[in-house]
């Protein structure tokens, strides 16, 4: 499954190429509470078809009525991009389903140029991180490759959005937990790969759409070329596989690195990595373990929910309180185990 950004851009291009008129809407600024973060996009076709989202649905409905031929509307206009704001008053916030006090500002691009869009998709399909800048007064779009994702920005004249290849997850170990994690990652828009040199484990893998990497996990981590949109999770329960993979992962820019294990096993792993492989307490700060947030999970499916929640929090730059960590929560209840 593609990330929602890529899906919106690809669908916009496909609709334009098929001769449809299209509006590309982007959340530019928000005040107070808002249903979608800045940078969220949706594409609206002249006949009312929509892909993506800028709100919980009410703003999409208003855009359909304003700008398309659905329900007898006037159809999409032509011209330079426009800025439109929703939820300024309490009545509008209620009408458009915004939380109390929420205000949302959208940039509307009417008939986005097809060539820059095709060039952007070509770069994204080749795994490049791209900076897209829209100049509001002219509608001109410029593209530039970048090594570091920037925060979305809009200063009233220029909109800058960093777009990149979808988020990726590399799983070390092919057991039941890995299958549940892969399934959840896929429907959250991640590309997923799994590596397990034990043929008896790989032989029973049942999740479609996952890349199978051969060889030893540390080699697989190196070949995976982890970037800022990559997470690496060791779930094999075998230190010979997990430890070496984690060593490679810790020297990569991956946004999340974690390993399954009890509190005791996680502590023993840290001691091994320090004593035998030259790591330090500081270098191991990025290593999550035990992984997940504490929800009292027991089954592989429940543990996967816990782990995926922690991964998504890291992806979204949410600093979780220590009280939700497995280590802290269990320390209040049980001796180390």
Calculate mean pLDDT across residues 112-124: 94
80, 15 Cβ separation under 8 angstroms? no
Q: Which pTM value belongs to this model?
A: 0.70
Calculate mean pLDDT across residues 310-326: 87
CATH fold of 168-331 reads Rossmann fold (3.40.50)
260, 235 Cβ separation under 8 angstroms? yes
| Mean per-residue pLDDT over the chain, rounded | 89
pLDDT at 110: 95
3-class SS of residue 331: helix
Position 336 pLDDT exceeds 60: no
Which of these ranges, 56-65, 84-93, 208-217, 314-323, has the smallest mean pLDDT?
84-93
Give all strands of the β-sheet with 50-52 in edge-to-edge order.
50-52, 41-45, 22-31, 103-110, 82-86
pLDDT at 151: 83
Assign 3-class secondary structure to 96-109.
Answer: CCCCCCCEEEEEEE
E runs forming strands in the chain: 22-31, 41-45, 50-52, 82-86, 103-110, 130-135, 141-145, 153-154, 158-163, 168-172, 191-195, 211-213, 230-234, 256-259, 287-288
Which of these ranges, 13-27, 61-75, 203-217, 258-272, has the smallest mean pLDDT?
61-75
**What are the pLDDT digits (tens) for 173-186?**
999 999 999 999 99
pLDDT at 141: 96
Residue 63's closest CA among 5, 75, 157?
75
The total of other beta-carbon atoms located within 10 Å of residue 260's CB is 24
Q: Which two tokens stand for residue 22?
A: 């299209």
Position 236 pLDDT exceeds 60: yes
Percent of the chain with pLDDT over 70: 91
Burial of 225 (0-12, 13-18, 19+ CB in 10 A): exposed
65: CB partners within 8 A, 6+ apart: 71, 73
Q: Give me the phi and psi of 281, to 5 degrees please.
A: -60, -35
The conformation of residue 71, written as its DSSP 8-state character, comes to G
**What are the pLDDT digits (tens) for 84-102?**
998 756 666 566 666 555 7
Calculate mean pLDDT across residues 104-110: 95
3-class SS of residue 12: helix
Q: Give me the phi and psi of 86, to 5 degrees please.
A: -125, 145
pLDDT at 88: 59
pLDDT at 36: 75
The CA-based angle 54-306-263, given to 5 degrees, is 145
**What are the pLDDT digits (tens) for 139-194?**
999 999 987 777 899 999 999 999 987 789 999 999 999 999 999 999 888 999 99
pLDDT at 90: 62
Percent of the chain with pLDDT over 90: 63
Domain chopping of the chain, boundaries:
4-163, 168-331
Position 235 pLDDT exceeds 80: yes
pLDDT at 335: 55
How many residues would you count in the chain? 337
Calculate mean pLDDT across residues 289-313: 94
């Amino acid at each position: 499954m593609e990330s929602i950004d890529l899906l919106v851009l690809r669908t916009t291009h496909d609709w334009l190429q098929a001769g449809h008129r299209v509006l590309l809407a982007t959340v530019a600024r928000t005040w107070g509470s808002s249903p979608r973060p800045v940078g969220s996009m949706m594409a609206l076709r002249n006949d009312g078809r929509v892909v993506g989202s800028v709100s919980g649905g009410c703003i999409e409905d208003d855009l359909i009525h304003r700008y398309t031929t659905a329900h007898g509307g006037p159809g999409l206009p032509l011209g330079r991009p426009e800025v439109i704001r929703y939820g300024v008053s309490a009545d509008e916030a209620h009408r458009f389903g915004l939380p109390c006090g929420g205000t949302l500002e959208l940039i509307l691009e009417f008939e986005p140029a097809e060539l820059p869009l095709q060039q952007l998709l070509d770069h994204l399909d080749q795994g490049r991180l791209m900076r897209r800048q829209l100049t509001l007064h002219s509608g001109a779009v410029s593209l530039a490759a970048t090594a570091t994702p920037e925060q979305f920005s809009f200063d009233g004249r220029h909109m800058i959005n960093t777009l990149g290849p979808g988020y990726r997850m590399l799983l070390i170990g092919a057991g039941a937990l890995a299958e549940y994690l892969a399934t959840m990652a896929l429907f959250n828009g991640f590309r997923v790969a799994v590596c397990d040199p034990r043929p008896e484990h790989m032989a029973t893998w049942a999740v479609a759409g996952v890349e199978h990497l051969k060889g030893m996990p540390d080699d697989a981590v190196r070949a995976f070329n982890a970037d800022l949109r990559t997470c690496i999770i060791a779930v094999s329960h075998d230190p010979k596989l997990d430890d070496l993979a984690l060593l490679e992962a810790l020297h990569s820019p991956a946004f999340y690195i974690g390993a399954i294990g009890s509190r005791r096993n996680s502590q023993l792993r840290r001691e091994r990595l320090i004593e035998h492989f030259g790591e330090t307490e500081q270098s191991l700060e990025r290593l999550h373990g035990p992984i997940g947030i504490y929800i009292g999970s027991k089954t592989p499916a429940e543990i996967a929910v816990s782990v995926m929640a922690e991964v998504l929090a890291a992806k979204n730059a949410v600093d979780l309180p220590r009280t939700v960590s497995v280590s802290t929560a269990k320390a209040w209840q049980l001796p180390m185990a």
